[in-house]
Structure 1
Amino acid sequence: MNDSQSTSLPTIAQLRDNSLSSAVRHEIERMILSGELPTGSRLNENALAAKLGVSRGPIREASRALVELGLLDLIPSRGVFVRRMDKQDAQEIYDLRAGLTGLAGSLLAPKVTDGQLAQLRELFGAMDAAAMEGDFQSFYGANLEFHDLIVSFTENSRLIKAYRALVKEFHLFRSHGLVQRDAQRLSNEEHRAILESLEERDPAAAYETSFRHVANGKARMMTALDNLAQAAPGKPTRSKPGSLHVIE
């Protein structure tokens, strides 16, 4: 190996630093998405470095990556803050998700396997049981997995990356009181339509049912937010740490 080749390869120290920065980024991301770092809060580099047992360098690198991902905001002369999403942000993400979800359905329909359909049916059944019991947490987890599987089954790496980035971003939008059993039941009836279109290997129907499901989810979210505003006039529907969030 000549000198020019050797200098292009990362050193062990660089690999170790990259691995550490990645681990720190994933941990800060987890803290943001779980609500441990509340929306609107300022990132304290010293406190995070002490908590994670690292220097401030990996914290800064992780912060830059999470700014690019849309989970943090860099405000000049003030610092880095956990991004606070408003109603307009949520609407825009729903619109994008509708298109990506429809695309995923249309791409998957012609090539979906029996094994993949079996996995989706199992999740549909889990959501049905959770909706009957009013178990939002179980419904929510199965719902996320149902849609993520459809996207991942397409094996389109760019679609998968774009979809998952949107889902992470939407987790910043939290609003207490959006959990209703009727909404879960309606949502799962739409899941049934998506599943049936995939079973029929019909790309057009898979696109339509998937797109309409997310569009309906957006409408349900807007109705719930309006109801909250009417129930508590003068109080903005702002994100609250630890409150439940809805994404269909």
Structure 2
Amino acid sequence: MPSSSPIQTAIAQLQGNSLANLVQNELERMIVAGELLPGAKLTEATLAGQLGVSRGPVREAFRMLEEAGLVRTEKNRGVFVRDIALDEALEIFELRAVMEMYIGRKLAETATAAQVKALRVLVDAMDQASKAGSAPEFHRANLEFHDSLLRLAGNAKFAAVYRRLIRELSLIRRKNLDADSMVGYAREHRQIVKAIAARDALGAGQAMFDHVMNSRERTLQNYAPAPAEPAAARRRSAARAPA
């Protein structure tokens, strides 16, 4: 059987890499959407069958997801969706707030009227999703809004770091989208765009910073463990309980 030529080998590698990227994108979508929950074990054979691919692209996708901070590999145990700790998430929010402040200040100085108009369209989409009570649609528009801001800032290295932080936060933020918070987020986004349109660099930066720190506070409230019931109260509850 003739051996493959260098060109055939290169084509096969490109096809394999492209397929691995598709698998990685689909697994990332499933993780962010909560279809694969934190702590869930990911099995090559099962996912390969589910996605209709061989195990090789799934294995490569696992490697890329680990680099992105979405999964962890445990020796002799397998690959698991990361379960990010609350303390780590709060630290990420603080770092992201500083980065968002920079984005807001920069765009207030550089954004064109057409770019501001496009941002307003995304805010309108979030308003509509909020009124419809559609958390998935709100989440989609929210991600597109922040990614648009990031692209307009025009710093590739900055964007790479920022996107990794956003992926990690996606592991813990699903409880943050209720009816009240969607209204609040949409209002904060509109204030950000208003400051950018007004060329108010300080105001835009502060609005971005406050927006992220407000999200941090919501996350703290939603995920912090409930305080332990005092022993005396437990004894009183036990005494009132029927035999």
- Shorter chain as normaliser: what TM range? 0.7 to 0.9
Give 1:215 deviation, angstroms: 0.7
Aligned match of 1:224:
222
Are the counterparts in 1 of residues 173 and 219 from structure 2 also a CA contact under 8 Å? no
Aligned match of 1:194:
192
Give 1:15 deviation, angstroms: 1.7
Q: How does 1:175-186 map to 2 (within 5 A)?
A: 176=175, 178-186=176-184
SS at match of 1:110: helix
Q: How does 1:230-245 map to 2 (within 5 A)?
A: none
SS at match of 2:72: strand
Q: CA-atom RMSD, angstroms?
A: 2.7
Q: Distance in 2 between matches of 1:102 and 1:138?
A: 25
Q: Distance in 1 between matches of 2:104 and 2:19?
A: 37
1:125-181 deviations in whole A, cap 9, x for unaligned?
Answer: 3333444554434433322222221111112222222222222222211554x4443
Q: Distance in 1 between matches of 2:63 and 2:158?
A: 23
Judged with a 3 Å threshold, the aligned counterparts in structure 2 of structure 1 residues 30 and 208 are, in CA distance, closer, same or farther, namely same
Are the counterparts in 2 of residues 21 and 58 from structure 1 also a CA contact under 8 Å? yes
Alignment coverage as a number of residue pairs:
225
For normalisation by structure 1, the TM-score amounts to 0.79
SS at match of 1:74: strand
Aligned match of 1:169:
168
Aligned match of 1:102:
101
SS at match of 1:80: strand
Aligned match of 2:14:
15
Q: Distance in 2 between matches of 1:12 and 1:225?
A: 47
Q: Single out whichever of 77-86 and 199-208 deviates more from structure 2.
A: 199-208
Q: Could you tell me which amino acid in structure 1 is paired with residue 218 of structure 2?
A: R
Give 1:44 deviation, angstroms: 0.9
Q: Single out whichever of 60-69 and 128-137 deviates more from structure 2.
A: 128-137
1:190-209 deviations in whole A, cap 9, x for unaligned?
Answer: 22321122012232222111
Q: How does 1:126-165 map to 2 (within 5 A)?
A: 126-132=125-131, 134-165=133-164
Give 1:51 deviation, angstroms: 2.3
1:187-244 deviations in whole A, cap 9, x for unaligned?
Answer: 3332232112201223222211111111122112222335x836x97xxxxxxxxxxx
SS at match of 1:38: coil
The share of aligned pairs that are identical, in percent, is 41
Q: Distance in 2 between matches of 1:98 and 1:15?
A: 38
User: Which ranges of structure 2 fall in alignment gaps of 5 or more residues?
Assistant: 230-243
Are the counterparts in 1 of residues 41 and 79 from structure 2 also a CA contact under 8 Å? yes
Aligned match of 1:49:
48
Aligned match of 1:238:
none
SS at match of 1:109: helix
SS at match of 2:73: strand
Judged with a 3 Å threshold, the aligned counterparts in structure 2 of structure 1 residues 182 and 16 are, in CA distance, closer, same or farther, namely closer
Give 1:91 deviation, angstroms: 0.9
Are the counterparts in 1 of residues 129 and 135 from structure 2 also a CA contact under 8 Å? yes
Aligned match of 2:236:
none
Larger Rg: 2
Aligned match of 1:244:
none
1:209 aligns with 2:222: no
Are the counterparts in 2 of residues 105 and 151 from structure 1 also a CA contact under 8 Å? no
Judged with a 3 Å threshold, the aligned counterparts in structure 2 of structure 1 residues 140 and 21 are, in CA distance, closer, same or farther, namely closer
